[in-house]
Amino acid sequence: MKLGFKIPAILCVLSLLLLQCKDDEANIFRAYVEGKFTYSDGKFLEERIHLVVNKKIIAESFPKESGSFVLAGPYDKGVYKLQLKDFKIKSFSTDTQGCKISNDSLSIEIPDGVTYVIFNDITLK
């Protein structure tokens, strides 16, 4: 008799968990950043580039030989960064308002709520 109550209870709990997961996934966006770097040092191609939110890497890749790149990762809210490790950014161009070079010149800050950015050119120092 007790087994008859456990099976429906277990199914009910599992269905609630599955529904909760779907609701959480619906609230998560993706940050998508693409563009092209202009660089003079070939070592740049060996450096990973990252998308970072709250000091957490959400995406990483290497630039192609042409300097082009595409990064995408999970994004909820807040400012996030296109970040380099060793090469400093001199300038960039984009149609997206509010992007700016960080104080250390190692990243470009992308404003809260922006989920899609295309950088026409990012020139390195």
The answer to whether 96 and 109 have CB atoms below 8 angstroms apart is no
Q: Which neighbouring-strand residues pair with 64?
A: none
Among candidate residues 120, 111, 95, the one with its CA nearest the CA of residue 31: 111
Asked if the model's pLDDT at residue 21 lies above 50, the reply is no
Which value, to the nearest 10 degrees, does the dihedral of the CA atoms of residues 39, 58, 81, 125 take?
-20
The whole model's pTM is what?
Answer: 0.77
The phi and psi torsions of 86 (rounded to 5 degrees) equal: -120, -15
Whether residue 10 lies inside any domain: the answer is no
The CATH number for 91's domain is: 2.60.40.10
pLDDT in tens, 74-98: 998 899 999 999 999 999 999 999 9
Q: How many domains is the chain built from?
A: 1
Domain holding 91, by residue range, is 29-124
